[in-house]
Amino acid sequence: MSITGQEHRMTTRNGIPVMGLGTYQRLGPEGCEAIRVALEIGYRHLDTAQSYDTEENVAEAIRRSGVPRGEVFITTKVATTNLARGAFLPSVEKSLKRLATERIDLTLIHWPSPNDAVPFEHYIEDLGTAQERGWTRLIGVSNFPIALLKKAEAILGKGRLATNQVEVHPFLQNRTLRDWCDGAGISVTAYMPLAKGRVAADPVLRDIAAARNATPGQIALAFLLQEGLIVIPASSRRDNLAANFAATGIVLSAEEIARVRALDRHERMINPASPPAWDR
């Protein structure tokens, strides 16, 4: 059955709106205004992180927008520097203050501790505690391979993790991880869905876009949405923000989906010096 644009905008996966706005680098007055404009356009899912330094801008943009706080879904992420016992929970309290909210909608572990510098069970248990205290409605992780997802489930119990936020775009489709998450009931949130803008130059995406009077970026986002992912593209320009949001109205054919699937070349763009053991 086809999914209309309006249905995409209203759709949630594990309670998370499927179209969101990434707020990385949305700093200062200009960044705050970009977030406010996104809310004006219709975005209702804002993705921030302690390390982005945009939590206060998210709060201020919501205030300026006039959109009730209860209509905006806020995701934040606990920084690697705050994973240790004695730092994790106070950092979530600080995020609550910076976000000017009594409860965060979704709190994630941003990255697993590099080289296990912090014991895994410590920060996973603290994530669960933040939820149990009512500081966050949902919990999840980011940049976790299957092996660590299994470990987290063993500590928290199945059904606790709402999402795993990972790099996914047409050139890195992360199918092994996504298939496992689907089976476990964990939604997948695609960060960097436009591959740092590289989708704009891809001949296949350009061809599909031209036939639909759309942009390659819109085709990439429409593809990921139809694949069942949550997407959080980022931009500061009103026209790009509007174009990204309008991608919810594009429904690709089976042939077009197959063409985009064929673009997967495991091209990872975010890979730290001490990365997790990525799945292939």
Q: Total domain count for the chain?
A: 1
Tell me whether residue 279 is in a domain.
Answer: no
Tell me whether residue 175 is in a domain.
Answer: yes
Tell me whether residue 270 is in a domain.
Answer: no
Q: Residue 267's Cα: distance from chain center in Å?
A: 19
> Is the model's pLDDT at 239 over the cut of 70?
yes
**Average pLDDT of 163-192?**
98
**pLDDT at residue 94, as a whole number:** 98
Tell me whether residue 277 is in a domain.
Answer: no
Higher confidence at residue 140 or residue 8?
140
Other beta carbons less than 10 A from residue 273's beta carbon = 6
Tell me whether residue 88 is in a domain.
Answer: yes
> Is the model's pLDDT at 5 over the cut of 70?
no
Task: Report the distance separating Cα 179 and Cα 213, nearest Å.
Answer: 32
Q: Is the dihedral of CA 56, 6, 232, 115 positive or negative?
A: positive
Other beta carbons less than 10 A from residue 30's beta carbon = 10
**pLDDT at residue 8, as a whole number:** 47
**pLDDT at residue 10, as a whole number:** 55
**pLDDT at residue 127, as a whole number:** 98
Amino acid letter at 67? Answer: V
* CATH code of the domain containing 196: 3.20.20.100
Please, where are the H alpha helices in the chain? 5-10, 28-41, 55-65, 88-98, 120-132, 146-156, 175-184, 203-212, 216-226, 238-246, 254-261
Give every CB contact of residue 35 below 8 A, 6+ residues apart in sequence.
21, 23, 26, 46, 54, 57, 58, 61
Average per-residue pLDDT for the chain: 95
Catalytic residue among 43, 52, 123, 191: 52
**pLDDT at residue 280, as a whole number:** 87
Tell me whether residue 273 is in a domain.
Answer: no
Tell me whether residue 280 is in a domain.
Answer: no
> Is the model's pLDDT at 71 over the cut of 90?
yes
Phi, psi of 146 (to 5 degrees): -60, -40
Helix (H, G, I), strand (E, B) or coil at 276: coil
Q: Is 123 a catalytic residue?
A: no
**pLDDT at residue 162, as a whole number:** 98
Give every CB contact of residue 191 below 8 A, 6+ residues apart in sequence.
22, 47, 142, 165, 166, 167, 168, 232
Q: Which has the closest alpha carbon to 55: 113, 101, 112, 111? A: 101
Element (H, E) at 42: none
Q: Quote the domain boundaries for residue 147.
A: 5-261
Tell me whether residue 269 is in a domain.
Answer: no
Task: Report the distance separating Cα 243 and Cα 215, nearest Å.
Answer: 8
DSSP 66-91: T--GGG-EEEEEE-GGG-STTTHHHH
Amino acid letter at 204? Answer: V
Per-residue pLDDT reduced to its tens digit, 85-128 = 999 999 999 999 999 999 999 999 999 999 999 999 999 999 99
**pLDDT at residue 11, as a whole number:** 86
**Average pLDDT of 67-83?**
98
